[in-house]
Amino acid sequence: MINRKIIFTGPVGAGKTTAIAAISDIKPITTDEYASDMTKSRKPQTTVAMDYGLIRLSDKERVHLYGTPGQERFDFMWDILTKGGIGLVLLLDNTRKDPFQDMRFYTNAFRDFIEKQQMVVGVTRMDLQHKPGLADYRQCLESLSLPSPIFEIDARSHKDVTMLIQALLFSLDPGVTN
Amino acid sequence: MLKHSKTGPLKVALLSVGPHNRAILEFFFAGAGRSLFKTVSIPEAEALIVDYDHVGAKDEWEQQSNTHKPGIVLSVHPVELSNTIWLPKPLTSKALTEAVGRVYALASAAEAAAAPAPVAAEPPPKREVVREEPVVSSSAPQQLFGGGSFPQPFGVSAKPARKLRSLVIDLSDEDDEDDSSLVAKPVAPEVAAEVEKVFDPAEANISMEEVARTVEPEVPPEVAEQRWRELCGDREDIDDPSDRRMDAIFFTPENYLLSNVLEAVRLARQSNQSVQLKLPGGGYALLMPDMSQAYCTLDTRADEFAMLCNNPVQTGQVALHIPSSTELLQLEEEARDHAGGILDLEAFIWVVSLLTAQGRLSRNVDVNKRIALKHWPNMTRLEQFPQVMRIAALWSQRPGTLFEIAKALDIPQRYVFSFYTAASTLNLFELDQTKLKSREKEKPQESRGLFARLLKRLLGGGKK
Ligand SMILES: Nc1nc2c(ncn2[C@@H]2O[C@H](COP(=O)(O)OP(=O)(O)OP(=O)(O)O)[C@@H](O)[C@H]2O)c(=O)[nH]1
Ligand SMILES: [Mg+2]
């Protein structure tokens, strides 16, 4: 069985669960309550509540989709990322107070993984609020020395989320043909 | 919540259980219920789980009853059978957790009743059962796997995600904290060993409910190809840049509507006001820098618009106008009434560039110069043409000339030329030669096939 993984991250309400649902073959599950059952007696920081979806390519090949919880640290993701993580989808909510702060935070938290693999950025809820614009996000990415693809997306749109994944795959290997 | 601490999980075997509930059980056993249950074969089991709503389950339970193992009966309706406990569906974590204690109670009751004569099967060992105060007390049973009944596995629509918010530390919306307090410590793979093992659904191999996704109707191939010809032309490749056919691939932007559009955009951005561009034939485009939108009375996909872009315009045919505030209100209202004509401002510039160039290059381009893409175009809002993603991906990683990029990707040059014209009109290329650098990473060769299959799946609209 070949298991590869794509991770969706970003602040609360950015559209992680929705984006996974938009492309998953299965109804995504959320591991919240399993996790909370496990950790009621422990420190809250160890709680891991992930979204999980799946794309089955064949009996032997699967692409797993994970949505990170809104936690301050993502150390726990390493366990998952190091086993077949191919890329990171960072979703930013344009209606948040300071989405650039979010961008700095998440790109820093996953910096090693981004450097090794690849990140794509989707800015959601631009239909609700036009500003800041994509040009501002491009500046922010440039200041972080990250030439990642960045698109305006609606997390509910299969087409938009698919385009982000396309950009991710082509960035990993422009030689891929479809 | 019940927890038995000393002697390990309750060994259970699954008899007939429907796929949905089987998935729920397996998921629970692999995750939160890991310390409570362990699945084993029937002879090893201390208790048997049977889905009474599943066909053949009753017969199967009957056959097993001579083993005298206690049963956990799952059913929508109450089931009363000797030596069993009933768990109502939909299953909850609370009910599953409590089931362990109930099974032991059942076993000891059976033991007491059977004494002094020993029961045929060895009774399960007695275990210490520790009762823990539940952290969240709720009168209604906690619904772990979704509010509804089948088919709503795992509570997606129940939105349980919100519950955890109180437990996790999140980025603050309200306070202006300084950056350093928010910056997570960079994590490295080496620390993975110290990190607590996290339940990974990828390894649990759980079966879950498929979703049926409606496939968007595809544009007929001949229609798509016709449009690509409008956008990118149909010129053959030129292998040698000194070829005299090269002359034909250049155009003079100043002669076309494109230059008026760019002038209008500049004016709009500089003045931060909406600008109306009056087109030949009575139509107009309203450029709204504030919203980063454009409204055009002509359909940018119509032949009329393509011709307007692709034929040189005479001076005086096109006019720029800064509307007064009353005019602007009217124009904006008209735009709102014809929302189909509103598009992203960059998308408008993009499509005008493409339709103008039709695969040609601006006369000012130096085809021998190495360049690199600095920023990706906003692909989700732009009109697509073949190979556009691959071109962007390669060019943002590897500086190269137009010819080199086409060659490296083994694609028709007209697509690279089109991309160049449109993306440079949007100022997405790095102009500073000293800043060019390769960002290419090692390509995972073995992944290429998988990536290709994933792309095919996604682009096929969800079809398998
Ligand atoms: N209007 C609009 N709504 C969106 C867009 N993207 C996502 N949403 C909606 O935003 C809401 C939040 O999306 P979620 O997918 O729950 O966000 P999340 O990142 O999983 O949030 P948490 O799990 O709370 O961290 C949902 O109701 C989505 O339908 C968008 O581009 N525009
Ligand atoms: Mg979510």
Shortest Cα–Cα distance, B447 to chain A (Å): 9
**Ligand 1, residues at Cβ distance < 6 Å:** A 10, 12-18, 67, 70, 124-125, 127-128, 154-156; B 161
pLDDT of residue B172: 34
Residues B240 and B374 occupy one common structural domain: yes
B138, part of any domain: no
Give the confidence band of B327 by pLDDT, cuts at 50, 70, 90.
Answer: very high
Which residues of chain A are within 8 Å of residue B188 when distances are taken between CB atoms?
Answer: 112
The average pLDDT across B67-73 equals 90
Residues B206 and B263 occupy one common structural domain: no
ipTM: 0.91
Residues B55 and B108 occupy one common structural domain: yes
Residues B328 and B371 occupy one common structural domain: no
Last residue of a domain, one of B356, B391, B425: B356
Q: Please judge whether A172 and B443 are an interchain contact, meaning their C-beta atoms are less than 8 angstroms apart.
A: yes
State which residues form the domain around B301.
Answer: 253-356
Q: Does residue B3 surpass a pLDDT of 80?
A: no
Residues B232 and B267 occupy one common structural domain: no
Domain with residue B24: its CATH number is 3.40.50.10850
Residues B314 and B372 occupy one common structural domain: no
Residues B348 and B424 occupy one common structural domain: no
Closest ligand by atom to A160 CA: 1
SS3 for chain A is CEEEEEEEECCCCCCHHHHHHHHCCECCEECHHHHHHHHCCCCHHHCCCCEEEEEECCCCEEEEEEECCCCCCCCCHHHHHCCCEEEEEEEEECCCCCHHHHHHHHHHHCHHHHHHCCEEEEEECCCCCCCCCHHHHHHHHHHCCCCCCEEECCCCCHHHHHHHHHHHHHHHCCCCCC
Task: Read off the pLDDT of residues B264-300 as tens digits, 9 standing for 90 and up.
Answer: 999 999 999 999 999 998 999 999 999 999 999 999 9
The average pLDDT across B402-414 equals 96
Residues B352 and B377 occupy one common structural domain: no
Q: How far is the CA of A70 from the centre of ligand 2 (A)?
A: 9
Residues B214 and B235 occupy one common structural domain: yes
High-pLDDT (> 90) share of chain B, %: 47
Q: Does residue A150 surpass a pLDDT of 80?
A: yes
B159, B165, B168: best to mutate for the A interface, most A CBs within 10 A: B168
Looking at per-residue pLDDT, the higher value among A115 and A138 belongs to A138
Q: How far is the CA of A155 from the centre of ligand 1 (A)?
A: 7
pLDDT of residue B67: 84
Q: Rounded mean pLDDT of chain B?
A: 79
| Minimal Cβ distance to B188: which of A54, A112, A166 | A112
Residues B230 and B298 occupy one common structural domain: no
pLDDT of residue B405: 97
Q: What angle do CA B284, B230, B355 make, to 5 degrees?
A: 40
Give the confidence band of A71 by pLDDT, cuts at 50, 70, 90.
Answer: low
Last residue of a domain, one of B356, B381, B412: B356
SS3 for chain B is CEECCCCCCEEEEECCCCHHHHHHHHHHHHCCCCCCEEECCCCCCCEEEEECCCCCHHHHHHHHHHHCCCEEEEECCCCCCCCEEEEECCCCHHHHHHHHHHHHHHHHHHHHHHCCCCCCCCCCCCCCCEECCCCCCCCCCCCCCCCCCCCCHHHCCCCCHHHHCCCCCCCCCCCCCCHHHHCCCCCCHHHHHHCCCCCCHHHHCCCCCECCCCCCCCCCHHHHHHHHHHHHCCCCCCCCCCCHHHHHHEECHHHCHHHHHHHHHHHHHHHCCCEEEECCCCCEEEEECCCCEEEECCCCCCHHHHHHHHCCCCCCCCEEECCCHHHHHHHHHHHHHCHHHEEEHHHHHHHHHHHHHCCCEECCCCCCCCEEECCCCCHHHCCCCCCHHHHHHHHHHCCECHHHHHHHHCCCHHHHHHHHHHHHHCCCEECCHHHCCCCCCCCCHHHHHHHHHHHHHHHCCCCC
Residues B337 and B303 occupy one common structural domain: yes
Residues B179 and B326 occupy one common structural domain: no
pLDDT of residue B365: 93
Task: Read off the pLDDT of residues B297-311 as tens digits, 9 standing for 90 and up.
Answer: 999 999 999 999 999
Q: Rounded CA gap, B277 and B275, in Å? A: 6
Looking at per-residue pLDDT, the higher value among B67 and A32 belongs to B67
Task: Read off the pLDDT of residues B181-222 as tens digits, 9 standing for 90 and up.
Answer: 344 443 443 333 344 566 777 776 666 677 777 777 778 999
pLDDT of residue A32: 55
> Which residue lies with its CA nearest to atom 9 of ligand 1?
A15
pLDDT of residue B115: 61
Looking at per-residue pLDDT, the higher value among B251 and B152 belongs to B251
Report how many domains make up chain B: 3
Residue ranges of domains in chain A, CATH in brackets? 2-172 (3.40.50.300)
B152, part of any domain: no
